[in-house]
């Protein structure tokens, strides 16, 4: 099993979610996060006080999938989340040791 | 404040002789009036024929009653509007500008004064401000609201109950110290803020209100002041005193922990916008209500107020656009408040176009004060109470001396030759600018010295500033034990 952790633009969330759902991915966890990679932030001015804001709002999306589906799913996420501009985000892939469904103790891919 | 109102009294007999063409109208009016009086006092008049004197007396009292109810309706409405400026207006405006951890404490600074100042006002505040005393402070005549009932006090408002005037003026006494809270927000102890306000109202506000508006006050242009200073609705009394005191507070308390290294962005400009708009609307009660009647003068003040706010909004936005490249919502509402402040002393004295000019200048000057001047001197006036109220109030008070005209305000009446007495520079009386300057200097001096002494006293007695730990935790939790936003509760 693999864990895919994708940091994407907030406005792309719905599109990515729909694409994953139609690809048969049922489980998804998202969080609102702030961060930056190479993208520069922006400047805000409040009554003459200037603030550089470089931690920008992003969405972190986590899904666990069977090894066999890794390529297909990462490609789906990358192609839907892409705008071609700096700040589109990144995808990270991890190995998963085990998965357990709390309701009935299913383990492994059966628990996904 | 001007007492332009003279009790309306119509002498029909004279009117008919002078203007025969109005006789018919008057007859109709007369019949209607008699019908009304007849209805009201059926048993008294039913069997007796009227003498002319009786008719006139009845007419006179009926017209007086009609005017009193009209004026009183507007003044009670105005009083409510001015209270609305403090809560929720100022509470929302200031509350949105601070960080999330201080939103309730900041709103509390405004809200609690609606209670505290009211009690002071009832016990001795109104008396110190408006009872006869010396040129600097009133006496004890009205202590515990002694003798203040429904009968009008002709000095302050011939056509409204004295009690209405008392409650209307209370709303000014509430909002003035609330304005100062913008300077010490996010770092003052709540107990210190309460003690400070009680002392400040007593030592600064009540005397200043007496000097400008009280009978026999030093600066009262209409009730026997030695130095006639025009301040229609509180440029000196409210905005200079609060704004300059705010500067003293900001300097005395020092900067907030982390200022200016840490970002201290407004946490919710949406509620600040709502607050600013409530201030704008409430200001109609503040300025137009200061006519103390529902006359044309109130309309003049209403129009000037609105025009001043509109022009100042544009002034600030343009200044910001030119300097920072973007016009901001916060800039727009700050400009509106600056314009309302500056037009306050002038509102019942100036024509609409000078009002636009005063507002526009205030928008630009106050923008310059809070952006350039503040950062140059480096003081931490958290919410710019000085930059907006101190600077805007001073500018407005000076320009009132330039643009005040008898065409708007006939309160000074005519000279012996029957000509209207000139008011400001535009009337050919440039010396009025000097009178205004004296009023400004007195207000600045009283605020600077009074506030400094009060802060020393409060600091020695209980300490003014919250501890660094309390400040970092946020005043909502450390002073009040609660949070503004429990979104997952």
Does B15 have pLDDT greater than 60?
no
- What is the mean pLDDT of the segment spanning A37-57? 87
- What is the mean pLDDT of the segment spanning A94-106? 95
CB contact under 8 A, B265 and A51: yes
pLDDT tens digits for range B157-194: 999 999 999 999 999 999 999 999 999 999 999 999 99
Cα gap B309→A12, rounded to integer Å: 42
CB contact under 8 A, A46 and B371: no
Q: Residue B403: which of B420, B426, B430, B428 has the closest Cα?
A: B426
Residue A36: band (very low, low, confident or very high) from pLDDT cuts 50, 70, 90: confident
Does B480 have pLDDT greater than 80?
yes
Q: Residue B452: which of B291, B142, B245 has the closest Cα?
A: B245
Cα gap A53→A74, rounded to integer Å: 30
pLDDT of residue B36: 52
Residue B8: band (very low, low, confident or very high) from pLDDT cuts 50, 70, 90: very low
pLDDT of residue B2: 47
Quick check: is A49 in a domain? no
Quick check: is A57 in a domain? no
Which residues constitute the domain of residue A19? 2-39+70-111
CB contact under 8 A, A47 and B324: no
CB contact under 8 A, B266 and A44: no
Q: Does A46 touch chain B (CB under 8 A)?
A: yes
pLDDT tens digits for range B137-150: 999 999 999 999 99
Does B244 have pLDDT greater than 90?
yes
Residue of chain A minimizing CA distance to B331: A47
Residue of chain A minimizing CA distance to B98: A46
Chain B residue numbers touching A44 (CB-CB < 8 A)? 265
Residue of chain B minimizing CA distance to A48: B371
Chain A residue numbers touching B328 (CB-CB < 8 A)? 45-46
CB contact under 8 A, B324 and A44: no
- A41, A48, A54: which to substitute to probe chain B, counting the most B Cβ within 10 Å? A48
pLDDT of residue B6: 43
CB contact under 8 A, B264 and A47: no
Residue of chain A minimizing CA distance to B265: A46
The number of helix segments (H) and strand segments (E) in chain B equals: 21, 0
Between the CA atoms of B389, B394, B397 and B400, what dihedral angle is there, to the nearest 10 degrees? Answer: -100
What residues contact B15, with CB distance under 8 A and at least 6 apart?
Answer: B22, B26
pLDDT tens digits for range B303-324: 999 999 999 999 999 999 999 9
User: Count of domains in chain A?
Assistant: 1
Quick check: is A105 in a domain? yes
Q: Does A54 touch chain B (CB under 8 A)?
A: no
pLDDT tens digits for range B24-37: 455 555 545 555 55
CB contact under 8 A, A46 and B265: yes
Q: Which of residues 123-182 of B touch A (CB under 8 A)?
A: none
Q: Residue A85: which of A35, A33, A20, A38 has the closest Cα?
A: A38
Chain A residue numbers touching B263 (CB-CB < 8 A)? 51
Distance from CA of A77 to the nearest CA of B (A): 31
Pairing of β A56-65 and β A49-53: unpaired
Does B427 have pLDDT greater than 50?
yes
Token pair, residue B96, equals 């949105």
Choose among B260, B263, B371: nearest Cβ to A47: B371
In DSSP notation, chain A reads -EEEEEEE-GGGHHHHHHHHHHTT----EEEEEEE-SS---EEEEETTEEEEE-SEEEEEEEEEE-GGGHHHHHHHHHHHH--SSTT-EEEEEEE----B-TTT--BGGGG-
Choose among B265, B266, B370: nearest Cβ to A48: B370
The domain that holds A91 is classified in CATH as 3.30.70.120
What does the mean pLDDT of chain B come to? 91
The residue with greater pLDDT, B413 or B75, is B75
> Whole-prediction pTM value?
0.86
Chain B residue numbers touching A45 (CB-CB < 8 A)? 320, 324, 326, 328
CB contact under 8 A, B260 and A45: no
Pairing of β A42-46 and β A49-53: antiparallel
CB contact under 8 A, A51 and B263: yes
Q: If you count residue pairs, one on A and one on B, with CB atoms under 8 Å apart, how many are there?
A: 26
Q: Does A68 touch chain B (CB under 8 A)?
A: no
Q: What are phi and psi of B478, to 5 degrees?
A: -75, -30
Residue B48: band (very low, low, confident or very high) from pLDDT cuts 50, 70, 90: low
Q: Does A86 touch chain B (CB under 8 A)?
A: no
In DSSP notation, B257-315 reads TTTTTS----S-HHHHHHHHHHHHHHHHHHHGGGGSSSSHHHHHHHHHHHHHHHHHHHH
- B29 C-beta neighbours (distance < 10 Å), count: 14
Residue of chain A minimizing CA distance to B267: A46
pLDDT tens digits for range B371-413: 999 989 989 999 999 999 999 999 999 999 999 999 999 989 9
pLDDT of residue B288: 98
pLDDT of residue B388: 97
pLDDT of residue B50: 84
Residue of chain B minimizing CA distance to A50: B263
Choose among A44, A47, A51: nearest Cβ to B370: A47
Cα gap B344→B366, rounded to integer Å: 15
- Angle at B182 (CA atoms; ends B171, B173), nearest 5 degrees: 15
Chain B residue numbers touching A47 (CB-CB < 8 A)? 330-331, 334, 370-371, 384
pLDDT of residue B26: 52
Cα gap B476→B201, rounded to integer Å: 25
pLDDT of residue B70: 95
pLDDT of residue B39: 52
DSSP classification of residue B50: P
Chain A residue numbers touching B266 (CB-CB < 8 A)? 46
Residue of chain A minimizing CA distance to B380: A49
Quick check: is A93 in a domain? yes
Q: Residue B266: which of B130, B382, B135 has the closest Cα?
A: B382
Q: Residue B387: which of B325, B447, B310, B335 has the closest Cα?
A: B335
CB contact under 8 A, A45 and B328: yes
Quick check: is A8 in a domain? yes
- B97, B99, B255, B265: which to substitute to probe chain A, counting the most A Cβ within 10 Å? B265
Choose among B330, B372, B374: nearest Cβ to A46: B330
In DSSP notation, B375-442 reads HHHT---TT-HIIIIIHHHHHHHHHHHHH--TTT--TT-B-TTSPBPP-SGGGT-THHHHHHHHHHHH
pLDDT of residue B383: 95
pLDDT tens digits for range B320-370: 999 999 999 999 999 999 999 999 999 999 999 999 999 999 999 999 999
Q: B111-134 as b/e, with b when 16 or more CB fall inside 10 Å?
A: bbbbebbbebbbebbbbbbbbbbe
Quick check: is A96 in a domain? yes
- A47, A50, A51, A52: which to substitute to probe chain B, counting the most B Cβ within 10 Å? A47
CB contact under 8 A, A46 and B326: no
Quick check: is A55 in a domain? no
In DSSP notation, A76-98 reads HHHHHH--SSTT-EEEEEEE---
The residue with greater pLDDT, B26 or B52, is B52
Quick check: is A28 in a domain? yes
């Amino acid at each position: 099993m693999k864990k895919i952790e994708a940091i994407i633009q907030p406005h792309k969330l719905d599109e990515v979610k729909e694409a994953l759902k139609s690809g048969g991915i049922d489980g998804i966890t998202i969080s609102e996060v702030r961060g930056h990679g190479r993208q520069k932030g922006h400047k805000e001015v409040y009554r003459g006080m200037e603030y550089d804001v470089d931690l920008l709002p992003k969405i972190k999306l986590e899904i666990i999938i069977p090894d066999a589906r890794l390529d297909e799913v990462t490609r789906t996420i990358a192609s839907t989340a892409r705008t071609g501009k700096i700040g589109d985000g990144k995808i990270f892939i991890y190995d998963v040791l085990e998965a357990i469904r709390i309701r009935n103790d299913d383990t492994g891919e059966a628990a996904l | 404040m001007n007492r332009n109102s003279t009790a309306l009294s119509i002498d029909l007999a004279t009117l008919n002789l002078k203007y025969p063409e109005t006789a018919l109208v008057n007859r109709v009016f007369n019949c209607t009036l008699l019908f009304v009086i007849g209805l009201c006092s059926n048993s008294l008049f039913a069997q007796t024929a009227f003498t002319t004197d009786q008719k006139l007396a009845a007419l006179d009292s009926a017209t007086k009653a009609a005017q009193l109810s009209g004026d009183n309706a507007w003044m009670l409405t105005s009083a409510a509007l001015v209270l609305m400026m403090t809560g929720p207006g100022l509470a929302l405006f200031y509350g949105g500008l601070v960080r999330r951890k201080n939103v309730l404490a900041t709103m509390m600074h405004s809200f609690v004064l609606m209670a505290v100042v009211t009690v002071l006002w009832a016990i001795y505040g109104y008396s110190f401000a408006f009872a006869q005393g010396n040129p600097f402070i009133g006496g004890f005549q009205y202590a515990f609201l002694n003798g203040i009932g429904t009968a009008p006090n002709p000095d302050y408002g011939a056509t409204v109950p004295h009690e209405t005037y008392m409650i209307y003026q209370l709303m000014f006494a509430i909002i003035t110290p609330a304005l100062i809270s913008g300077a010490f927000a996010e770092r003052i102890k709540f107990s210190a803020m309460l003690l400070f306000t009680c002392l400040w109202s007593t030592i600064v506000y009540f005397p200043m209100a007496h000097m400008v508006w009280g009978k026999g006050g030093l600066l009262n242009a209409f009730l026997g002041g030695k130095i006639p200073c025009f301040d229609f609705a509180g440029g000196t009394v409210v905005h200079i005193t609060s704004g300059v005191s705010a500067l003293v507070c900001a300097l005395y308390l020092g900067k907030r922990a982390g200022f200016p290294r840490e970002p201290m962005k407004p946490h919710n400009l949406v509620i600040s916008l709502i607050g600013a708009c409530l201030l704008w609307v409430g200001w109609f009660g503040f300025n137009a209500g200061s006519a103390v009647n529902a006359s044309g003068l109130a309309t003049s003040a209403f129009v000037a107020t609105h025009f001043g706010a509109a022009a100042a909004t544009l002034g600030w936005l343009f200044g910001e656009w030119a300097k920072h490249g973007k016009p901001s919502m916060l800039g727009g509402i700050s400009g509106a408040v600056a314009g309302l402040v500056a037009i306050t002393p002038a509102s019942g004295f100036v024509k609409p176009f000078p009002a636009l000019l005063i507002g526009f200048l205030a928008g630009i000057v106050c923008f310059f004060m809070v952006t350039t001047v503040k950062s140059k001197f480096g003081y931490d006036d958290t919410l710019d109470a000085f930059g907006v109220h101190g600077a805007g109030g001073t500018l407005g008070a000076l320009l009132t001396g330039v643009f005040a005209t008898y065409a708007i305000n006939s309160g000074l009446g005519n000279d012996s030759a029957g000509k209207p007495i000139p008011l400001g520079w535009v009337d050919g009386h440039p010396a009025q600018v000097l009178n205004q300057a004296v009023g400004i200097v007195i207000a600045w001096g009283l605020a600077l010295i009074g506030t400094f002494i009060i802060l020393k006293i409060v600091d020695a007695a209980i300490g003014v500033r919250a501890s660094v730990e309390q400040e970092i935790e946020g005043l909502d939790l450390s002073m009040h034990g609660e949070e503004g936003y429990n979104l997952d509760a």
